[in-house]
Amino acid sequence: MRTISLHDSRSGRVLPLEPRDPGRVGIYACGPTVYSRVHVGNARPFVVFSLLKRFLEHEGLEATLVANITDINDKIYDAARAAGVSSAALAAEMTAHYKADTERLGLGRPDHEPLASEYVEAIVALIADLVERGHAYAAGGDVYFRVRSLPEYGELSHRAIDQMDQGEGVEGAERKEDPLDFALWKGEKEGEDTAWPSPWGAGRPGWHIECSAMAEQLLGVELDIHGGGADLLFPHHENEAAQTLAARGRPLARLWVHNGMLQLGDDKMAKSVGNIRGLGEVLDEVGRDALLLYFAAGHYRQPIAYTRERLDAAAASVERIREAGRRVTAGESPADLAPLRDAFFDALADDFNTARALASLFDWIREANRREGPVGGSHLREMLEVLALDNLLEAEAGPPPELVELAERRAAARAERDFAEADRIRDELRAAGWEVRDGAEGPELVPAG
Ligand SMILES: [Zn+2]
């Protein structure tokens, strides 16, 4: 079996993956806060950790992926108030959008997608343990983590103490013993429409403690891989790590793995910067195959530029793979191509280098194309399965059912003389790689040429 290694943010080194329970790997990847539609940058951790799981399974490991949904958060209260709806209704609506949008990536669902609102009891119990151990204190209905009580604080994000702004602003400032401290529990405030009971009064958990509790409940402490975007390293992950270490005397995670951000111009793509592209919108435009290849073309740790050129390059890669798929046969690949297949998986084992793995995949295609006569495609299928792109080998099988349904909706729109809608659907189909032909037997979908 290959040695699999991943970059660990705590040590700053690439370390071998040594599962806590031999043969089994637990991954906890921080998911979205559901206060608006997810953007394409939010899809990156979803893609990275879903594909990492597929790779680990290819290597014979049993992998469990937990991706939480933060449905209790200040941002949700603020957005709900602005929209004039209840925070629970907004969170439920955006959770449904998040699931529908990420479903379109065709990567399946994580094994668990816990909602913070379903784990309040476990969260309260964890806070109570921290209070009992002297790592947290109640103050005016809130509970705060006493940062200076934990000597290891800061070891994950490697920050100097004067760069440790918890981002909580003036909120609770007069109740904190120390400005470094952060909220574990927030007492109910005027105008908030949801609250849960606790030993410190009605209120709700802080964001960081939600993840510590859900991760422990579903995967146990010292879980194998804790993942998320690099923007979560501080304060979110530093605080998660601190809470669990302080409460349990054992680390939350063995490896901390962070993906780079999407860059639009000089800025990271973020709601706070105001330069976001919705995931659904991008999927309409480029399709899931090209989007997955766009992500895979960069190393997960590096930022990726969100540019037309890179999306076009990904679309061209989709075509090259489809083309190769049309040439290979269903059988075994020649043994002398195996080193290129092995290089693909070795690259993934080496800090999940999808960019280098893709280069090996295209080397394999180039070699196969040089051969006289058709070549068995088993290697190509094996590689594409881990990238969740083996559907490209099935391209001749016809359009997916949701596109057939779209084509039918277009026909109905035309029948009602709603040509604007018909044209819009035609464009959507074209973006997904299909052309509508209106034949004698009704509309027919053919691959866009
Ligand atoms: Zn988290």
Task: Report CA(329)–ligand 1 centroid distance (Å).
Answer: 45
Q: Encoding tokens for residue 10? A: 């705590």
Percent of the chain with pLDDT over 70: 98
**Residue 377 binned pLDDT confidence (cut-offs 50, 70, 90):** very high
Q: 29 C-alpha vs ligand 1 centroid, how far in Å? A: 7
Question: With contact defined as beta carbons under 8 Å apart, do 221 and 250 qualify?
Answer: yes
| Residues across the chain | 449
pLDDT band at 394 (very low <50, low <70, confident <90, very high): confident
The model's pLDDT over 407-428, given as tens digits with 9 standing for 90+, comes to: 888 988 998 999 999 999 998 8
What are 110-122's pLDDT values in tens digits? 999 999 999 999 9
pLDDT average, residue stretch 23-33: 97
Q: How far is the CA of 236 from the centre of ligand 1 (A)?
A: 6
Residue at 157: amino acid letter: S
Say how many Å lie between the CA of residue 188 and the centre of ligand 1.
22
Q: How does pLDDT run across 227-272, given as a tens digit for each residue?
A: 999 999 999 999 999 999 999 999 999 999 999 999 987 777 777 7
- What is the structure's pLDDT at 163? 82
Q: Residue 436: what pLDDT? A: 83
Nearest-angstrom CA–CA distance, 45 and 49: 6
pLDDT confidence tier of residue 347, bands split at 50, 70 and 90:
very high
Mean pLDDT of 75-95: 94
**pLDDT digit string, tens, across residues 277-321:** 899 999 999 999 999 999 999 999 999 999 999 999 999 999 999
pLDDT at 274 over 90: no
Determine the pLDDT at residue 101.
96
Give the H/E segment covering residue 430: helix 419-431
Inter-CA distances, 31 with 78, 184, 207, 211, Å: 19, 19, 12, 10
Region 143-172: mean pLDDT is 90
Distance 339 CA to ligand 1 centre (A): 39
Beta-carbon neighbours within 5 Å of ion ligand 1: 30, 211
pLDDT-above-90 percentage for the chain: 80
pLDDT at residue 400, as a whole number: 77
With 0-12 / 13-18 / 19 or more C-beta atoms within 10 angstroms meaning exposed / middle / buried, residue 35 is buried
Distance 291 CA to ligand 1 centre (A): 25
pLDDT of the residue at 396: 58
Q: Is the pLDDT of residue 161 over 80?
A: no
In this structure, what token pair is assigned to residue 100? 């529908």
Q: How far is the CA of 211 from the centre of ligand 1 (A)?
A: 5
Q: Kindly give the distance from the C-alpha atom of residue 14 to the centroid of ligand 1, in angstroms, as a whole number.
A: 22
Report how far residue 247's alpha carbon sits from residue 131's, in angstroms, rounded to the nearest whole number: 9
Q: How confident is the model at residue 348 (pLDDT cuts 50, 70, 90)?
A: very high
CA–CA dist 351, 324 (Å, integer): 28
Which among 64, 61, 150, 83 has a CA at the least distance from the CA of 349? 61
Q: Do residues 262 and 40 make contact, with C-beta atoms less than 8 angstroms apart?
A: yes
In the block, residue with structure tokens 């605080």: 239
Which pLDDT score, from 0 to 100, does residue 443 have? Answer: 77
How large is the average pLDDT for residues 53-59?
98
Residue 101, token pair as written in the block: 């949008």
User: What local confidence, expressed as pLDDT, does residue 107 receive?
Assistant: 97
What residues does 363 pair with on adjacent strands?
A: none
- 70 class by beta-carbon count within 10 Å (0-12 exposed, 13-18 middle, 19+ buried): buried
449 pLDDT band, cuts 50/70/90, is low
How much is the pLDDT for 295? 98
Determine the residue type at 129: D
Q: Measured in angstroms, how far is the CA atom of residue 228 from the centroid of ligand 1?
A: 8
Mean pLDDT, the chain, rounded, equals 93
CA of 31 to the centre of ligand 1 (A): 7
Lowest mean pLDDT among 156-165, 332-341, 434-443: 434-443
Dihedral of CA atoms 256, 120, 107, 421 in degrees, nearest 10, equals -130
pLDDT value at position 191? 82
**CA dihedral sign, ordered 343, 344, 348, 352:** positive
Whether the CB-CB separation of 446 and 437 falls below 8 Å is answered with yes
